[in-house]
Structures are given as structure tokens and as C-alpha cells.
Structure 1
């Protein structure tokens, strides 16, 4: 019977941390995509709006709308930069968690290989003993 991997609890914890980091990374990437989509939508909306200026009041309204749109795009660019930074940090966190998990997984694999080899050695000893006993029984206990 093989022995349990002594660091199994730590391995479970590291896998959980890796899954959480992967979830955070996915969320950060989605936020980046959402901000980019919003920027694209806003730019398309601004390009597609016809401008008809037929009075000083409409000119002032167009100027105010453009200023507001420019401010909105500036805010979206800042949000895009923040979301990209967050995504980069989430990627670093995930990479770190994955590296820690990978190291322990390699140890667990080596432990499993070692335990399997030990089990096979034990089985081989039993088979050798059975073969030896059978030979002794057939030949009256004399060794060749």
C-alpha cells in the first residue's frame, strides 16, 4: 500500500490559489474588454452623428456635446489604462501561483513514482519468495 503524499494539503491549497488567481485574471481580462468595447461604441457613436448647424445655439450645443464626449473618452482611456494594469498584475499573480503549484505537482509525481516503485519491489520480493519456496518443495530443500 502506498503512502500518502505528505504535502497533499499544501498542494490542494496551492491549486485553490491557482484557481482563484485564474478567476481574477479572467475577470480582469473581461474588464479590459468591456472598457475597450465601450470606447469603440462611443467613438462609433460620435463618428455617426450628423452635425447640422443652423444657429448659434446649435453651434453651442454641438461644441458642448463634443467637449463632453472628449471628457468621456479621456475617462475611458484612463479606465482602459487602469484595467490593463490590473490585468497585468492579475497575470503576474496567476503566473506566481501556477509556478508554486507546478513545483508541488512535480514533487507529488515523484512521490507517486517512488511509491509505485516501492510497491513493485515488494511484490517482486513476494514473487521471488514464492518461487524459491516452490523450488525448495519440489527439490527437497536442496539448493542448486
Structure 2
């Protein structure tokens, strides 16, 4: 039996592809968390923004303009979260596909290792049997 796993190169390639897909997935999860945090922070700013009760019309208009700008930023942040969530879904599917391509080869590699171990055990047993047989013949032949 051939000792080396013939598909080892292909398995290494598939594992590399899986690792790259996993790295992209981790990055997209980080981007999603960052987008969610920006949305929370912007929303907190909007909630904390006040319009002065006693102010001139200029100050009042500036406060309303600031509040409207924050509302737009909250909406933009919501879009960013949705986009990041979509990217996570895409990257999850890519990683899953890459993992699927690796699993079959890993199972073949494991079966190959088991077969080699069985063959090694068989060869060792044959060698031990041969040694025992020689000793038995030598003992029968006498000194």
C-alpha cells in the first residue's frame, strides 16, 4: 500500500480555502458588531439631544437641524447594520461551502491513516511471528 495520502495537496488547498473563508467570516462579524455599536451610539446621541425650551428662533432652528441630522445618521447606521448582516450571511454560506469541500477529503485522509496503521500492525505482527518462529526452531535444534 502506498504510504503517502495521494490527495494531501488538494486537502491542504481546501483547508487553506476554508481558513480564508473563516477569516472573511470573522471580519464580517466584526464589521457587523462595529456597525451595531455605531447605530447604538448614534441613537443614544439622538435620544440625548434636546431642543432648548427658551431660545431664539435661530438657536431653535439649529437644534432642530441637529436633531434631524442625527435622525438621518441613525437611519444610515441602520442601513449599515443591514448591509453588514447581509455580508455575514454571504460569508457564512461561503465558509460552509468551503468546509463542505474539506470534510470529504478529511474523511478519506482519516481512512487512509487507519489503513496504514492496520498495515503497519499487520507487518509488525508478521515480523514478531517470524522472530518467534526462528527462536522456536533454534530451541528445537538445540545447542
TM over 0.5: yes
Alpha-carbon distance between aligned partners in 2 of 1:40 and 1:77, rounded to the nearest angstrom: 10
Distance 1:119 1:2, change over 3 A: farther
2:32 is matched with 32
Partner of 1:138 in structure 2? 139
The answer as to whether partners of 2:18 and 2:102 remain within 8 angstroms in 1 is yes
Task: Count matched residues.
Answer: 140
Structure 1-normalised TM-score?
0.88
Corresponding residue number in structure 1 for 2:67: 66
Query: Offset of 1:2 from its aligned partner?
Result: 7.0
Gap regions ≥5 residues in structure 1 = none
- Match status 1:5 vs 2:5: yes
- Scaled by the length of structure 2, the TM-score of the pair is 0.89
1:107 alignment partner in structure 2: 108
Tell me the distance in 1 between the aligned counterparts of 2:43 and 2:78.
12
Tell me the secondary structure at the aligned position of residue 50 of structure 2: coil
What are structure 2's unaligned runs of at least 5 residues?
none
Offset of residue 114 of structure 1: 0.5
Q: Residues 32 and 84 of structure 1 are in contact (CA less than 8 Å); yes or no, is this contact kept in structure 2?
A: yes
- Distance in 1, Cα, partners of 2:13 & 2:140: 58
- Larger deviation, residues 10-19 vs 24-33: 10-19
